[in-house]
Amino acid sequence: MRAQATGGGAAMTAILTEETRTETFRRDVADGGVIETSDWMPEEYRRRLIKFIEMHANSEIMGALPEGDWIGRAPSLKRKLALSAKIQDEVGHAQMLYRLVEDLGKPRPQIFADLTSGKSKFHNVFHYPTRSWADVGIIGWLVDGAAIISQSALLRSSYGPYTRVMKRICWEEAFHLKQGEDVCLTLAGGSALQREMLQDALTRWWEPLMMFHGPPTPPEQDGDLAWRIKTKPNDALRQEFLDRYVPQIWELGLTIPDPALKKDVQTGRWRYTEPDWSRLIAVVTGSGPASAQRLGFRRLTYEEGAWLRAVTMNA
């Protein structure tokens, strides 16, 4: 209201008020405060929330595609049911998350236009092809395993509606992990050919997995951390991932394609060959091995579904 008053003094007061408000907000959020959709929030916070949750949602819906290729080729009815159920969950996750983005002010047509034009992003791991049934196992076990680590950290995010949706998502992810692990264990306990197939999939997926949590951004330079949209730095998430999964992978007699991978007994931290981060940027900006195909498919299904949206949304 004060901004409407005339004179430079009043305008200055308005600016200061906005700054003070932002500062109070920042402190509140840093102290563990939780924000709801109807609360006042600084524009930067809203913009970052939209971008972060939108990328998460995009990843859920794009993540349905690599596995979708294998529904028709699943080796048994039970596997087919489980894989269909997992994919149904992922699309459901996207639906829940897109609703959050809409409530924050970005309309769905805009979200989809940005996704299909390549303007907005989705996770690196969904830019790769799935070459064998073992890929389905590795994705369920390790890609979802990596995702569970970042998603569990989001349970303490500063945005209340996000944490509530994340509770539901994490609960469903536990099943994704188990069905993937079961596929991997079946292959690991199977014939030489099956074990080879599993090893080949692990070898191809290791680099994307190491890149999954993002480059080691110093926490003080990570705006999403400062606003507590996310709660743990990229590198901490990667360490957690390695801690939980490397011993389990080794236990199965598999080889991880990084000779430098080793836990430092003194620091308790994993050492590994630093991934080529420029490749991560190339992959997520549309130059991944399956980026064009996946986006092309998403564009096609979006166009093909236009008549249905017209019928149901304008009813």
Binds 135: which of Fe ion, other proteins, none (CB < 5-8 Å by kind):
none
Binds 182: which of Fe ion, other proteins, none (CB < 5-8 Å by kind):
other proteins
**CA-CA distance, 201 to 139, in Å (whole number)?**
9
**Minimum separation from the CB atom of position 150 to Fe ion (A):** 11
Binds 82: which of other proteins, Fe ion, none (CB < 5-8 Å by kind):
other proteins
Distances (CA, A) of 209 to 109, 110, 254, 293, 308: 31, 30, 16, 21, 37
Binds 215: which of other proteins, Fe ion, none (CB < 5-8 Å by kind):
none
Task: Give the footprint of other proteins on this chain (CB under 8 A).
Answer: 33-34, 36, 78, 81-82, 85, 160, 163-164, 174-175, 177-179, 181-182, 185-186, 188-189, 251-253
Closest CA to 137 of 179, 86, 94: 179
**Minimum separation from the CB atom of position 225 to other proteins (A):** 18
Report the residue closest to Fe ion, judged by CB. Answer: 176
Say how far residue 282 (Cα) sits from the centre of its chain: 17
**Minimum separation from the CB atom of position 216 to Fe ion (A):** 25
Helix ranges restricted to H, the chain: 8-30, 43-68, 77-103, 108-116, 133-138, 144-153, 160-188, 192-211, 223-226, 234-251, 277-282, 291-304, 306-313
**CA-CA distance, 144 to 112, in Å (whole number)?**
24
Closer of 176 and 232 to Fe ion (Cβ): 176
Whether the Cβ atoms of residue 210 and residue 275 lie closer than 8 Å to each other: yes
**Minimum separation from the CB atom of position 108 to other proteins (A):** 22
**Minimum separation from the CB atom of position 59 to other proteins (A):** 21
Q: Which residues contact 29 (CB under 8 A, 6 or more apart)?
A: 35, 45, 158, 227, 228
Task: Give the footprint of Fe ion on this chain (CB under 5 A).
Answer: 60, 90, 93, 144, 173, 176
Binds 93: which of other proteins, Fe ion, none (CB < 5-8 Å by kind):
Fe ion
Closer of 176 and 204 to Fe ion (Cβ): 176
